[in-house]
């Protein structure tokens, strides 16, 4: 997670340069000319999809039941 609008939020010092965190994450996930890819994004999405969907469905069901009463 990053904060938007705070001083230097969303940036990290990498070597002697300051880089945006999404750019660093993309380089790690996709790989570079000197670094093999280490895919983490697809794994995170696939692991979180089921629980997120269940939470959404539970909330929808709860709101519908509250409305019907």
Mean pLDDT of 4-20: 77
Predicted pLDDT of residue 3: 52
Residue 11 near residue 19, CB atoms below 8 Å:
yes
> Could you report the per-residue pLDDT of 37-48, keeping only the tens digit for each?
999 888 989 999
User: Which pLDDT score is estimated for 53?
Assistant: 95
Question: Please, which residues bridge with residue 17 across strands?
Answer: 14
pTM, rounded to two decimals: 0.55
- The CA-atom distances, in angstroms, between 2 and each of 15, 28, 36, 59 are 20, 17, 25, 26
């Amino acid at each position: 997670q990053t904060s938007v609008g705070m001083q230097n939020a969303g940036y990290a010092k990498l070597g002697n340069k300051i880089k945006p965190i999404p750019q660093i994450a993309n380089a790690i996930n996709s790989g570079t000319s000197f670094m093999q890819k280490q895919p983490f994004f697809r794994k995170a999405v696939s692991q979180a999809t089921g629980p997120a969907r269940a939470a959404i469905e539970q909330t929808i069901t709860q709101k519908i039941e509250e409305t019907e009463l």
